[in-house]
A and B are shown apart, each in its own frame.
Chain A
Amino acid sequence: MSARIEIAAEQPSRKPGRMSEFWNDVGYLARRYPLGVAGAIIMVIFVFAAVFAGTVAPLDPFTTNPRASLAPPGSKYLMGADMMGRDVFSRMIHGARISLAVSLGATFLGSGFGAALGLASGYVGGWFDLLVQRVAEIMQSLPLLVMALVITASLGPSLPNTIIAIAIPLIPNVARVIRSNVLSLREMPFVEAAKATGMSEFRIAVIHVLPNTLAPLIVLATAQLGSTILTEASLSFLGLGVPEPWPSWGRMLSESAAEYVRTAPWLVIFPGLAISLVVFGTNLLGDALRDALDPRQRD
C-alpha cells in the first residue's frame, strides 16, 4: 500500500528490531497525520475504558444511594451523582462500553452485509443487481433516524434490537459505494487475466476484487462509526434505544437528566461531552485514514 512504501523510502537509517521499527513508524505517522493520531489516541482511550470498565470505574454504576442524590462533582463523585445517587463518572465509563458495543456491532453488521451485497450485486449484475438497487433506493428514501425509530418501536427497546435498528439503514450506503467500486474494478486488466486462467468467478471476486475494495470500505466504516454513535444517542434520548439499567450516554441526557438542567448541569454536560469527543475522534481518524489510504479523495 502506498503509505508503507513511502515509509520505507523516507527512512534510510533504521535501527534494527521490530519494536523500534514500530515506534519509528508511529513517530512518522504522528508528524505526517497529527490530527489522525490525536483521533487514534481518543479512540484507544475510549476502547480501553469500554473494555476495562469494571476495573477503571471507581464505583458501581448500578447501586442507588438516596443520600447522594444529585451530589455535585467532588472527591467521591468525580462527575457528580444522578437523581438516584449513582456515580456519573462510573456510569460514563460503563456507558463507553455500551456505545462501543452498539457502534461496533451496528457498523460491522451494516458494513459487512452492505459489502457482501455490494460485491455480489456489482459482480453478478443482472436481476439480482436490480433487486438490490431497488431495496437500497427504498431504504435511502427514509431518514436514518426515522427508520431506526420505527424498527425499535416494532422490535421493542433492547440492546440487540438497537444494534439491528441502526445497522439496517447503513446497509444501502455501503452497498452502493462497494458496488460502484466493484463495477470499475471488474473491467480492470488483472481481473481479465484471472478469468483467462480459468479461475471461478467466486474466487476472482473474493481473492482479487474484494481486497481492493477494502480501502474505501475501511474509510466508509470509520465514517459510519461516528454516525452510529450519534444515532444511538438520539434513539436513547427519545426513549427508544438502549433501556435501563444499562447506562447509555444518550439516555443519560434524556428526561431524567434534562429534568435538572438548572440544579444539576453536570448531568447534561458530561454525557454530551463524551459523545462529542468520541465521535470527534472517529472523524479525525477517518479523515486521516482517508488521506492515507485513498489519495483520490484527498483534501
Chain B
Amino acid sequence: MGFVARLLMACLLTLCAGTAHAQKQGGVLRVTHRDNPPSASIHEEATISTDMPFMAVFNNLVVFDSDSKQNRLDRILPDLATSWKLSDDDKTLTFQLRDGVKWHDGKPFTSADVKCTWDVVSGKVDGKMRKNPHKTWWFNVKEITVNGPLEVAFHLTDPQPSLLVMLAGGFAPVYPCHVPAAQMRTHPIGTGPFKFVEFKQNESIRLERNPQYWKPGRPYLDGIEYSIIANRSTAILALVAGKFDLTLTGEVTPELVKDVKAQVPQMECLVQPSNTQGNLLVNRERPPFDNPLIRRVLSLSIDRKAFSDILSRGVYNIGGAMLAPPEGLWGWSPEFMATVPGYGADVEKSREEGRRIMRELGYGPDKMMPLKVSTRNIADYRDASVILIDHLKTVYIQGELEPLDSSVWYARLARKDYAVGMNVQGTGIDDPDVQFFENYLCGSERNYTSYCNADLEKLYHQQSMMKDQDARRKLVWEIDRKLQEDGARPVVYQSQGGTCWWPQVKGLKLAVNSIYNHWRFEDVWLDR
C-alpha cells in the first residue's frame, strides 16, 4: 500500500476507535451532599464529606485500578508516579515522577512537593495543620529523600507492603509545598482534573474543569456541583425529581434504594459495604466492665443478625474488625467465623449463658444491673444504641440511653468517663495496617479504650512485614479473633450503603471494599 493509503487507514482506524467510545465532552455533574465538610483539606479530615468532593482536585502518587472492583495491592496504577521500585531489603520505595505536571496556579510539580507533603503528614515537620488524623498510617516512614526534581524515595524502618496501598487511597493526595495549610483548608490547590471554584458553608461546593490537566482529553465534565441538603429524604426526593444526577456515596440506605428503584426503574443504584462498622467502646478501667465476666456477658447478649435486620433489613455484614468477604480482602471466612466466640448462630444459647453468669453474680429479672449506654446524639448512633439496650435486657442489664452532643462525646471519651459507648467508625482503606495501627495500637489517638496488648502488637508488626499475602491473611484472622475474644472493641455490624445515579452518568466505577478511593471523576461523562 502507498504511504497516503496507510495514512488514510490510520486515520480511519483512530476515528473508529474514537466513535466506539463516544464519550461526550461537557456538562456539569450535580451531586447531593449531606454534611458540611469541616474543611476542604483531605489530609486534615477523615470524613467522606471532605474526601468525595475534593478528591477530584488532586492526584496521588499511585491509584487503585478502577477496573478492579476491589482495592487491592496487586491492582495499583501510576498516577503522578510513572514507575516505582522496591529496594532489595524491601525498605526503600523509590518513585519516578511525571514530567510537565503543573499545579492549578501554574507552578510546576516536583519531587519537593512529595517530600513536603509526607514530611508534614508523618509528623516530621510542623505544617500548621489543625489536625492530622492519618498520622499513624505513616509511622513506618523514617525519611523521605529526593534525587532531582523527578525522583523521590521513601525510606522505611521495616518492610511494609501496605505502604503502597495507603499511598493509593483517597486520603493520600500530593499537596504543594508553596501553599500553606490554612489555604488548603479553604481554597485547595492540586494537580487534579478539576479546579476548586468555591465552597459556601452549608450550601454548596463547586469545581470546574482543569484545561491544563496532564492527561490529554480528560476530564470530560465541565464541572461538578455539590449541593448540601441535610435531610436525606428530601435529597433523595430531589434526585428522583431530576434535580440531581448523583448522590453522596453510601447515602441511600438499602431500604430507600428499593423505594428509589420502584419510582425510577432505570436509576442505577449500587449497595456496597461502606467500610464503616458499628462497635462498642467498653471502658475496662471502670465498673462494671472492669470485670471480665461482665464483658463476656455483654458480647454474649448481642444478636448481630438483629442489628443487621433492623438497621438494614438484613443487608449489613457480620464480621470482626476487618471487612467480611467477598467484598473485603481480610475478613474471616464463614467457616473461621463460626469458631469465634460470640459469633455462633444460636443467640438464645449465648444469652442463656449470659444469664447464668449474671445470676451467679447476684442479678436476676427482679434485680437488673443498671447501665448507662453513651453515644453521640446522631440518628444512626442512637438507633443502634436503642437496639443494644433492648438486647441487654435479655441478660438482666437495664440500659439507659445517654445521648451526648458530639463535642461532649469525645471529651468524655478522652476522660474515660463512660461505661459503654455505641460507636460508629469508618476505615479509610481495607488494610490490616490501617485498621490495627489506627485503632488497636497502644497510645494511638483513635484507640479510645486504651486497649493495650503487647503480644498482639508484636503480631501487628509481624503481619505488616509479610510479603506473602495469603500467609498474612491467616495471621490477620488470628489477630482479629483474639481482638474479639478479648472484647477489645466488639464489632456489632458492618454497614452497607447505597449510591444512586441517573443512567446518563457514565464512567462511574465504584469499589466494593471502600467508599473513599475513587472520586477523581476524570473518566466520568454525561450522556445528555
Residues of A contacting B16 in the complex (Cβ-Cβ under 8 angstroms):
none
Is there an interface contact between A261 and B237, defined as CB atoms closer than 8 Å? yes
Among candidates B232, B313, B386, B390, residue contacting A69 with C-beta atoms closer than 8 Å: B313
Cβ-defined partner of A263 (8 Å) among B231, B259, B377: B259
User: Is B408 a contact of A156 with CB atoms below 8 Å?
Assistant: yes
With A84-B386, A85-B310, A244-B386 as known contacts, state yes or no: A258 contacts B231, CB within 8 Å: yes
A262 at the interface (CB under 8 A from B): yes
Q: Kindly list chain B residues whose C-beta atoms are within 8 Å of the C-beta of A245.
A: 386, 389, 401
Q: In the bound complex, do residue B377 and residue A258 qualify as a contact, i.e. CB atoms below 8 Å apart?
A: no
A153 within 8 Å of B by Cβ? Answer: yes
Q: Compute how far the CA of A260 lies from the CA of B258 in the bound complex, rounded to whole angstroms.
A: 12
* Chain B residue, CB-CB nearest to A261: B233
B403 touches A243 (CB 8 A): yes
Chain A's nearest CB lies how many Å from the CB of B313? 7
Task: Kindly state whether residue A259 has any CB partner on chain B within 8 Å.
Answer: yes
Give 1 or 0 for each of B360-391: 1 = CB within 8 Å of chain A CB.
Answer: 00000000000000000101001101110110
Asked, given contacts A156-B408, A157-B405, A243-B377, whether A259 binds B310 with beta carbons under 8 Å apart, the answer is no
Q: Which of A62, A69, A85, A153 contacts B405 (CB 8 A)?
A: A153
Q: Contacting A258 at CB < 8 Å: which of B233, B253, B306?
A: B233
Is A239 engaged at the interface, CB distance under 8 Å to the other chain? yes
Chain B residues within 8 Å of chain A by Cβ, number: 28
Map CB proximity to A onto B294-333 as digits: 1 under 8 Å, 0 otherwise.
Answer: 0000000000001001100100000000000000000000
Q: Which parts of B37-93 form the interface with A (CB within 8 Å)?
A: none
With contacts A83-B383, A243-B403 taken as known, whether A66 is within 8 angstroms of B231 at the C-beta atoms is no
C-alpha gap A70/B387 in the complex (Å) = 16
Specify which chain B residues have a CB less than 8 angstroms from the CB of A67 in the assembled complex: 309
Q: CA of A101 to CA of B313 in the docked complex: distance in angstroms?
A: 35
**In the complex, what residues of A have CB within 8 A of residue B389's CB?**
245
If the complex has contacts A157-B403, A239-B377, A262-B237, are A64 and B387 also in contact, measured as CB distance less than 8 A? yes
A201 within 8 A of B: no
Most buried by A among B255, B313, B389: B255
Contacting residues of chain A (245-287) with chain B, CB-CB under 8 angstroms:
245, 255-256, 258-263
CB of B310 within 8 A of CB of A64, answer yes
Bin chain A's interface residue count.
20 to 34
Is B256 located at the chain interface by the 8 A CB criterion? yes
Contact residues in B for A156 (Cβ distance below 8 Å): 404-405, 408
Contact B233 A244 (CB under 8 A): no
Q: Report if A55 contacts B (CB, 8 A).
A: no
Nearest CB of B to A84, in Å: 6
Distance to closest chain A CB from B231 (angstroms): 6
Cross-interface CB contact of B390 among A64, A244, A261, A262, cutoff 8 Å: A64
Q: Which of B310, B377, B383 contacts A157 (CB 8 A)?
A: B377
Hey, what's the 0/1 contact readout for A13-54 against B, CB within 8 Å counting as 1?
Answer: 000000000000000000000000000000000000000000
Report which of A84, A153, A260 forms a contact with B387, defined as CB distance below 8 A. Answer: A84
**Across the interface, which residues of A come within 8 angstroms of B401, CB to CB?**
243-245
The interface of chain B, by Cβ under 8 A from chain A, is 231-234, 237, 253, 255-256, 259, 263, 306, 309-310, 313, 377, 379, 382-383, 385-387, 389-390, 401, 403-405, 408
Q: A69-B313, A256-B379 are in contact. List 6 more A-B contacts (CB 8 A).
A: A64-B390, A244-B385, A244-B386, A255-B379, A261-B233, A262-B237
Q: List 15 A-B contacts (CB under 8 A).
A: A64-B386, A64-B387, A64-B390, A84-B310, A156-B404, A157-B377, A157-B403, A244-B386, A255-B231, A255-B232, A255-B379, A259-B253, A261-B233, A262-B259, A263-B259
Across the A-B interface, give the 3 residue pairs with the lowest CB-CB distance, nearest first: A66-B309, A66-B310, A243-B403
